[in-house]
């Protein structure tokens, strides 16, 4: 395989992932909030990048067929994801209502373990993440007959994920110097809360449709 072919396959994975990950979702909101609060944001970006990379290569290896054959997995993840998103949405709303002091010093309070577990939750407890990475990217990669071609395709997709999450975390961290005041951070928390709750409702309706389809 020549260099031009490798670059072409890599670019296809890179830009396909770009088209999927740029949509506003719970994972992006969590990374953005972590950066604005400088709350172990680089660790959050690292965990998010690793999760996306693993899921992309799970899809490239052809595991998507297993995921499609057992819809109960998608439904179970969806139910857990609804609860997870709703919980954090309500948590953000309570921050605003209880008048928590929003400052850089007060926000760096989570432990490494808490940060990793929460990052894993936002990365893995949403079935739409699996649909994007495992099913869509994995399905697209099936057009390549050779494993090495699928590898370069997956490498392109995971490279964009890594650049995106670290870029988002770092830019949000830089923006926090301007936005880091109680009024602005309360607005950010309120918007985050509303979006997370809306995403939980949207996911809930999707899960309901999946259940109807699976048992109809």
Q: What is the pLDDT of residues 5-31, one digit of tens each?
A: 999 999 999 998 988 887 768 899 899
- What is the predicted pLDDT for the residue at 67? 62
Least Cα distance to 168 among 50, 56, 11, 46 occurs for 46
Per-residue pLDDT tens digits for 157-212 = 999 999 999 999 999 999 887 776 777 777 877 888 888 889 889 889 988 988 88
For residue 103, pLDDT over 70 is answered with no
- What is the predicted pLDDT for the residue at 99? 59
- What is the predicted pLDDT for the residue at 56? 93
For residue 105, pLDDT over 70 is answered with no
- What is the predicted pLDDT for the residue at 192? 83
Least Cα distance to 15 among 148, 136, 160, 131 occurs for 160
Q: Do 38 and 177 form a contact (C-beta atoms < 8 A)?
A: no
Tokens read off for 75: 């439904």
CA distance 66 to 81: 20
Q: Do 172 and 35 form a contact (C-beta atoms < 8 A)?
A: yes
CA distance 164 to 35: 13
Annotated domain spans of the chain: 3-214
Per-residue pLDDT tens digits for 109-128 = 578 999 999 999 999 988 77
Per-residue pLDDT tens digits for 27-50 = 998 999 899 888 899 999 999 999
CA distance 163 to 137: 18
Region at 103 (left for phi over 0; alpha for psi -120 to 50; beta for the rest) = beta
- Residue 157 host element (H or E): helix 147-179
- What is the predicted pLDDT for the residue at 24? 67
Per-residue pLDDT tens digits for 50-99 = 999 999 998 888 766 666 677 787 788 788 888 988 988 888 888 777 75
């Amino acid at each position: 395989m020549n260099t031009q072919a490798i670059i072409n396959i890599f670019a296809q994975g890179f830009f396909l992932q770009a088209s999927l990950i740029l949509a506003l979702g719970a994972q992006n909101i969590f990374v953005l909030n972590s950066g604005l609060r400088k709350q172990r944001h680089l660790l959050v970006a690292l965990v998010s990048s690793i999760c996306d990379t693993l899921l992309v290569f799970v899809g490239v290896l052809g595991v998507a067929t297993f995921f499609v054959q057992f819809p109960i997995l998608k439904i179970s993840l969806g139910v857990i994801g609804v609860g997870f998103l709703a919980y954090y949405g309500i948590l953000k709303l309570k921050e605003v209502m209880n008048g928590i002091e929003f400052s850089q010093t007060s926000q760096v309070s989570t432990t490494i373990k808490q940060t990793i577990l929460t990052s894993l939750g936002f990365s893995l407890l949403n079935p739409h993440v699996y649909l994007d990475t495992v099913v869509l990217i994995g399905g697209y990669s099936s057009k390549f007959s050779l494993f090495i071609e699928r590898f370069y395709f997956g490498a392109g997709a995971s490279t964009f994920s890594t650049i995106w999450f670290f870029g988002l975390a770092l830019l949000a961290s830089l923006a926090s110097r301007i936005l880091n005041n109680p009024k602005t951070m309360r607005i950010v928390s309120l918007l985050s809360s509303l979006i997370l709750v809306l995403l939980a409702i949207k996911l809930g309706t999707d899960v309901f449709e999946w259940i109807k389809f699976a048992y109809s």
